[in-house]
Structure 1
């Protein structure tokens, strides 16, 4: 900028133009901490809990690179490098278990993610408050029932001797004789998915109902004035209004594709369906911990954790590009 232009803008030739002083980010941060000190103090116990039970145990991953023997100290353990991982990737059983894990995870992701959203949206459309609250309460109560009890309910429901499902199918003339659902390996994934839906749909819908209540009611009033029915309001107001919640939960669900636990599979499994019911966590328990192969079991768990982190980062990156929303 020349002298003439500076003079026209109220700056003389003898004055220097200096940029704005940099903001003091550090002081601003500590000022924010002091202003919200009680919130930080409230969250401190949970941060400590996560650090102790989630981060401190990570040192145990070193066992995956050792031939760990409980009687020896850490310094006396024999280091074997990647031998446990080589054995893992050369085991045909591992790939069978990985297939089962991914199949049940994908079924759970598709149905266990979509059904609660639909249930929450439809529940929101109910006008009677008493009936609405009753349905919501009844729907999330199974969440508090342990999988031990749920397993017994599923076995009794699908039993060939007085099971309600077989009796109903015979009464409707769909089948001529009872089906042994729990003895057919190829049916295990479907049985597990339905049981999980019954147990968790109501509970998973709560967060979507909470997100729906945060939508501005004036949007619905304006839509009614414009002649939009309930279906159009649902697709143009309700679902877009909870899009952020859906995106965050979808990213987190993708991150747990290989780390689905083993409680429900363990309770519903039997010797006739093992080839379709065994998942990675059961594989680590059976072929690692139970036979004292602690290093091998650690390698399996380490593989699960690393893949979960990679899936989480990939899902977050894709969603950030597609929807401009992310959790990190």
Structure 2
């Protein structure tokens, strides 16, 4: 009897596996149009994100243009050690973490707050106008944004300093002062990203069940209590996902903004890893060294997002995977 039972289970398991495989391919065929729409994105990521990973081997080689990537001799961890022995490496890492954490703490809640406030606006036309104006800066290049800031904040005829001077105060060197550098960086980043970031949260808010609001009204909840007890808990999974993605970018503060706004007067707090990689790799021609610093930056980002995802998965059961 035991022999028969064993045979029966062994004969049924392959059938189950075949059925599972068959059902998988059947489901793929049934939804083939959706997979077809995914194909361009998959091809794009493969060409521009995965194939270039081969170039990371440059970080472990003494790269020269004659031998290329394959013909350059191996150098091991030489350039990683060189970066950590560099006298300004700790300062550069500290600057990167300081600006990133400031953007995360101050800048991350801004799209959520803006989306919540915009959702409370009942005048549809006014709401659309405000939303359109708010996300237009996202499409403006940092070159244009920095040029506008320079024209607005310059002490030599800039409207901001002219207004300060008219009040009887001394003109302020905003872009060349250590006291105002962080404020300019954070506020300009919020101005550029808050509207576009709010689109995601507005989409999540639009999916909240309206019956919950009606029930809350019947219980006597005002608009603020509805927002606090219904809207925010409903969009919490989206907020967690966006926060996890933001954690993965802690080591990248955006090289365009810092490269253009940083000056010799603010270099002590404005030189970050993104800018240092560009300066050492492209301006100085140290390709292997710049690649090593960039690889270190990327590895730390991956570790941070894995740790943050694991913590989030245990705490509130929301995660990226």
TM-score (normalised: structure 1): 0.90
For the residues of structure 1 that align with 2:40 and 2:150, how far apart are their CA atoms? 41
**2:237 aligned with 1:262, yes or no?**
no
Could you say which residue in structure 2 is the equivalent of 1:54?
49
**Deviation per residue, 1:177-225 (Å, 9 max, x gap):** 1111111124212211000111111111011001000001111111000
Task: Determine if contact 2:55/2:69 at 8 Å carries over to the other structure.
Answer: no
Could you say which residue in structure 1 is the equivalent of 2:73?
78
For the residues of structure 2 that align with 1:317 and 1:53, how far apart are their CA atoms? 28
Could you say which residue in structure 1 is the equivalent of 2:209?
216
Could you say which residue in structure 1 is the equivalent of 2:240?
247
Between the two proteins, the alignment pairs up a number of residues equal to 312
Could you say which residue in structure 1 is the equivalent of 2:268?
275
Select 2:171's aligned residue among 175, 178, 193: 178
Q: After the TM superposition, which of the residue ranges 162-171 and 121-130 deviates more from structure 2?
A: 162-171
Structure 1 residues not aligned, in runs of 5+: 1-14
Select 1:230's aligned residue among 217, 223, 230: 223
More helix by share: 2
RMSD: 2.0
Task: Determine if contact 1:284/1:297 at 8 Å carries over to the other structure.
Answer: yes
Q: Give the alignment of 1:50-129 within 5 angstroms.
A: 50-129=45-124
Structure 1 runs of 4+ with >6 Å offset = 15-20
Q: After the TM superposition, which of the residue ranges 74-83 and 42-51 deviates more from structure 2?
A: 74-83
Task: Determine if contact 2:280/2:287 at 8 Å carries over to the other structure.
Answer: no
Q: Give the alignment of 1:193-204 within 5 angstroms.
A: 193-204=186-197
TM-score (normalised: structure 2): 0.92
Structure 2 residues not aligned, in runs of 5+: none
| Cα distance change, pair 263–74 in 1 and its aligned pair in 2 (3 A) | closer
Deviation at 1:78, TM superposition (A): 1.8
Q: Secondary structure at the match of 1:296?
A: helix
| Cα distance change, pair 130–84 in 1 and its aligned pair in 2 (3 A) | same
**Deviation per residue, 1:18-61 (Å, 9 max, x gap):** 88955432122111111111111111121011011111111111
Q: Quick check: which has more Rg, 1 or 2?
A: 1
Select 2:25's aligned residue among 24, 30, 35: 30
Deviation at 1:169, TM superposition (A): 4.0
For the residues of structure 1 that align with 2:60 and 2:99, how far apart are their CA atoms? 30
**2:160 aligned with 1:165, yes or no?**
yes
Q: After the TM superposition, which of the residue ranges 133-142 and 21-30 deviates more from structure 2?
A: 21-30
Q: After the TM superposition, which of the residue ranges 302-311 and 186-195 deviates more from structure 2?
A: 186-195
Task: Determine if contact 2:247/2:305 at 8 Å carries over to the other structure.
Answer: yes
Task: Determine if contact 1:186/1:276 at 8 Å carries over to the other structure.
Answer: no
Q: Secondary structure at the match of 1:28?
A: helix
Task: Determine if contact 1:212/1:238 at 8 Å carries over to the other structure.
Answer: yes
Deviation at 1:75, TM superposition (A): 4.6
| Cα distance change, pair 241–171 in 1 and its aligned pair in 2 (3 A) | farther
Task: Determine if contact 1:185/1:274 at 8 Å carries over to the other structure.
Answer: no
